[in-house]
Amino acid sequence: MKNLNYLICILFGLGITLSSCNQSQQTNGALASSAAEKVYVAPGEQDEFYAFLSGGYSGNLTVYGLPSGRMFKEIPVFSQFPTSGYGYSEETKPMLNTSFGFVPWDDLHHPDISQTNGELDGRWIFVNGNNTPRIARVSLSTFETEEIIEVPNSAGNHSSSFITENTEYVVAGTRFSVPVPQRDMPINEYKGNFKGALSFISVAPDNGRLNLEFQVLMPGFNYDLSHPGRGKSHGWFFFSTYNTEEANSLLEVMASQNDKDFIAAVNWKKIEEYVKNGGGTKMPANYAHNVYDEETHTGTSTMIKEVVTVDPTKVPGSLYFLPTPKSPHGCDVDPTGQYIIGSGKLSADITVHSFDKMLAAIEGEKFDGEAYGIPILKFEEVLAGTVKSGGLGPLHTEFDGRGNAYTTFFISSEVVKWKVGTWEVVDRKPTYYSVGHLMIPGGNSRKPFGKYVVAMNKITKDRYLPTGPEMEHSAQIYDISGEKMELIYDFPTHGEPHYAAGCPAELLASKSKKIYRLDENKHKYATIGADDARVERNGNEVHVYMSTIRSHFTPDNIEGIKVGDKVYFHITNHEQDFDVPHGFSIIGQGTSEILVMPGQTKTSLWEPKKVGVWPFYCTDFCSALHQEMQGYVRVSPANSNIDLSWSLGE
């Protein structure tokens, strides 16, 4: 048996050698290394790129390394996350507040990294909540959600969250048109009455704070995806539309009647100027703006009561429609800003519009009628070219910065590489299976890093054991440094990745925050010195000021708590050492554990329901004496007279 194995090894080894010889001959000696070598990141080494994949219905954002495909982190954004206590701790509950109350979940779709002069700057990443319309800003130095703003007059916040090339705005377009303002009316009176809001949310250059500056109220179409103009087209924003039929039922038939829908070209600079000069209508609204402050380690939620809306027909030259075949889905702009790519999802072809031709057509008034007072440009006058792909169901396009574009095809399950300008198809590779979005780091900026493309699939089937029926979606990594794409790796993703954004790891490394400084902690209930640890009662509300250090809680024995109390454990982690969090959990905790970072304060609410002596402990294996890191709370009947007391080591 041993000999046989040996023989097989020799034969197999020989086979590999022979075939790699053949391959290197056929590829002119270049790129002879194996796929395994290309994705191998040796232990202790780090990945060249970081990729941020949308988690879809998980509501969160996941962080992966490229080319290794290793998952580094899941960043909670719109969903409660017991791993850290996000959305369960008192400090983070306000982050999930909306005009509908506390909404602990969303459908997270399209990450976009902040840019300066059209290039990735690695400061923040923006993501959209699709279901209860929200936009979030996540810090790329802490990988924490710092801000969430609700988007009023919007529903199915899908055409989001894409930024302009200096991060002036993060843009959120509604997928569903709705009555604006919302009101009780018959559904079948949709046509002509519903509106689609495109929201422009400004981003403060210094701290990233979001403010909803204005909403452009569009005809009642569906707004699917969008991307900013860049370079020469900076100042414009492009939105794909479907259901220009304005159907309100059975859209799979009724919204496919028109041969062409539109890409809407919005001159946001014109509208910005109009609003700055007092234009637009202030409309009553009610939407949440939630901000997490790093110094107080606390989130606050504020309801905003007004929004500026703009009727684009009142701002001449601010809006044009570019006819685009077959219900376009993806709407992508090449790195030069010259070409706008519309992928008709029921089509075989990809439509490319020219920005220069668009300006000339506007100048020459080459109109083909209008829709609701908005000029429709003549298709032939704006068309730059058509990519005759031979594939089926084009969805999304990214760019490599070397003049090539890469488009996913859902139905024919492939990535097609084509040349921008000649529209010639130069390569195609199958995906496994039914690919949705794809991502090249910086692939939708002025400066893509065209080394890898990640294809994110909707269907997994046989890529792993078919134990299910529920399976994680598969993704593939292709090396795109050569003329031909090369499939080099296959890895599972978490939730359902829609879009993703990636950047060089070195862009993040210098900004990474390792600890929070205890002497900068301004939390209202912080326990800065262990001597300050105490327990205070205010009616049935009890506040425990508790600190942690390896390997104990201060205090760790508490008496005088009663059934029916609301006990707030405010835990301050006194560690000032990289990667030493402490956790806190207590029996019967109705929320989740909390994980407290060095220098941070977090609060967990506990409502004891039973008389007894109940333990609490550290959930993070913090030290050699982690198992000793525990304590007890004595809970007495509601009518007892036991005084509050607390201690450590007595």
Partner 1 sequence: MLTLLVGCKNEAKTDGTTSSPATTEAVKEQGQAFIEDDESTPNVLQIAIGSPDHTTLVAAVQAADLENALVNAGPLMVFAPTNEAFDALPEGTVDNLLKPENKDALANILKYHVTPGNYSKDFLKKFKKLGQANDQNVMIVVEGDDVFVGGAKILGSVKAGNGIVHVVDKVMLPPEE
Please report, as a single letter, which amino acid is at residue 238: F
With respect to partner 1, which residue has the nearer C-beta, 469 or 649? 469
In the numeric block, which tokens belong to residue 350? 């990809």
Residue 19 in the binding site for partner 1 (CB under 8 A)? yes
Q: Which of 22, 33, 207, 512 binds partner 1 (CB under 8 A)?
A: 22
- 3-state SS class at 141: coil
- 3-state SS class at 45: coil
Smallest separation (angstroms) from partner 1 to the CB of 638: 57
With respect to partner 1, which residue has the nearer C-beta, 465 or 624? 465
- 3-state SS class at 198: strand
What residues between 221 and 280 interact with partner 1 by CB under 8 A? 252-253, 256, 259
Q: Tokens 């008496």 label which residue?
A: 559
Q: Which of 57, 433, 568, 632 binds partner 1 (CB under 8 A)?
A: 433
Smallest separation (angstroms) from partner 1 to the CB of 418: 9
What phi, psi does 12 have (nearest 5°)?
-65, -45
Smallest separation (angstroms) from partner 1 to the CB of 403: 15
Q: Which of 12, 40, 464, 621 binds partner 1 (CB under 8 A)?
A: 12
Q: Which stretch binds partner 1 (CB under 8 A): 285-293, 376-384, 425-433, 586-594?
A: 425-433
Using CB under 8 A, count the residues that bind partner 1. Answer: 46
Q: Which stretch binds partner 1 (CB under 8 A): 193-201, 387-395, 493-501, 531-539?
A: 387-395
Q: Which of 89, 354, 412, 547 binds partner 1 (CB under 8 A)?
A: 412
- Element spanning 240, H or E: strand 236-242
Tell me if 587 sits within 8 A of 614, measured CB to CB: yes
Q: How many CA atoms lie within 13 A of 388 on its CB side?
A: 1
With respect to partner 1, which residue has the nearer C-beta, 31 or 605? 31
Smallest separation (angstroms) from partner 1 to the CB of 397: 16
CA dihedral 518, 521, 523, 524 (to 10 degrees): 90
Residue 427 in the binding site for partner 1 (CB under 8 A)? yes
Smallest separation (angstroms) from partner 1 to the CB of 414: 8
Q: Which of 23, 182, 211, 627 binds partner 1 (CB under 8 A)?
A: 23
Q: Which of 430, 515, 528, 563 binds partner 1 (CB under 8 A)?
A: 430
Residue 31 in the binding site for partner 1 (CB under 8 A)? no
What phi, psi does 231 have (nearest 5°)?
60, -120
With respect to partner 1, which residue has the nearer C-beta, 92 or 412? 412
Residues 6+ apart with CB under 8 A from 209: 147, 203, 291
**Residue whose C-alpha is closest to residue 458's, from 54, 52, 51, 36:** 54
With respect to partner 1, which residue has the nearer C-beta, 91 or 245? 245
In the numeric block, which tokens belong to residue 440? 């090249």
Q: Which of 413, 548, 572, 636 binds partner 1 (CB under 8 A)?
A: 413
What residues between 59 and 78 interact with partner 1 by CB under 8 A? none
Pinpoint the alpha helices (H) of 309-373: 355-363
What residues between 479 and 518 interact with partner 1 by CB under 8 A? 483
Tell me if 456 sits within 8 A of 439, measured CB to CB: yes
In the numeric block, which tokens belong to residue 127? 């993501």
Tell me if 73 sits within 8 A of 595, measured CB to CB: no
Smallest separation (angstroms) from partner 1 to the CB of 16: 7
With respect to partner 1, which residue has the nearer C-beta, 34 or 540? 34
Smallest separation (angstroms) from partner 1 to the CB of 463: 10
Exposure pattern of 396-413 as b/e (b: 16+ CB <10 Å)?
Answer: bbbbbbeebbbbbbbebb
Smallest separation (angstroms) from partner 1 to the CB of 82: 33
Q: Which stretch binds partner 1 (CB under 8 A): 14-22, 96-104, 189-197, 499-507?
A: 14-22
Please report, as a single letter, which amino acid is at residue 391: G
With respect to partner 1, which residue has the nearer C-beta, 24 or 300? 24
Q: Which of 189, 370, 380, 424 binds partner 1 (CB under 8 A)?
A: 424
With respect to partner 1, which residue has the nearer C-beta, 97 or 407? 407
Residue 429 in the binding site for partner 1 (CB under 8 A)? yes
What residues between 343 and 372 interact with partner 1 by CB under 8 A? 346-349
Query: Strands, DSSP E only, in 2-59?
Result: 49-54
What residues between 528 and 587 interact with partner 1 by CB under 8 A? none
Q: Which of 50, 52, 321, 410 binds partner 1 (CB under 8 A)?
A: 410
What phi, psi does 528 have (nearest 5°)?
-75, -35
d(CA 313, CA 372) in angstroms, rounded, equals 8
Binding mask 313-342 for partner 1 (x = CB under 8 A): -------------x----------------
Residue 434 in the binding site for partner 1 (CB under 8 A)? yes
Smallest separation (angstroms) from partner 1 to the CB of 26: 5
d(CA 290, CA 135) in angstroms, rounded, equals 10
- 3-state SS class at 632: strand
What residues between 446 and 475 interact with partner 1 by CB under 8 A? 458-459, 461-462
User: 418 has which bridge partners?
Assistant: 405, 425
With respect to partner 1, which residue has the nearer C-beta, 188 or 510? 188
Smallest separation (angstroms) from partner 1 to the CB of 412: 5
Smallest separation (angstroms) from partner 1 to the CB of 427: 7
Whole-angstrom Cα Rg for the chain: 28
With respect to partner 1, which residue has the nearer C-beta, 18 or 642? 18
Residue 473 DSSP code: P
**Nearest-5° angle of CA 299, CA 300, CA 305?**
145
What residues between 105 and 134 interact with partner 1 by CB under 8 A? none
Tell me if 266 sits within 8 A of 274, measured CB to CB: no
Smallest separation (angstroms) from partner 1 to the CB of 343: 13
d(CA 30, CA 28) in angstroms, rounded, equals 6
- 3-state SS class at 629: coil
In the numeric block, which tokens belong to residue 481? 């440094």
d(CA 408, CA 395) in angstroms, rounded, equals 6
**Residue whose C-alpha is closest to residue 578's, from 515, 639, 529:** 515
What phi, psi does 543 have (nearest 5°)?
-110, 120
Exposure pattern of 578-612 as b/e (b: 16+ CB <10 Å)?
Answer: eebbbbbbbeebebbbbbbbbbbbbbbbbebeeee
Residue 389 in the binding site for partner 1 (CB under 8 A)? yes
Tell me if 244 sits within 8 A of 259, measured CB to CB: no
Q: Which stretch binds partner 1 (CB under 8 A): 13-21, 42-50, 224-232, 362-370?
A: 13-21
Q: By CB under 8 A, name the binding residues for partner 1.
A: 11-12, 14-16, 18-20, 22-23, 26-27, 252-253, 256, 259, 326, 346-349, 388-390, 392-393, 410-414, 424-430, 432-434, 458-459, 461-462, 483
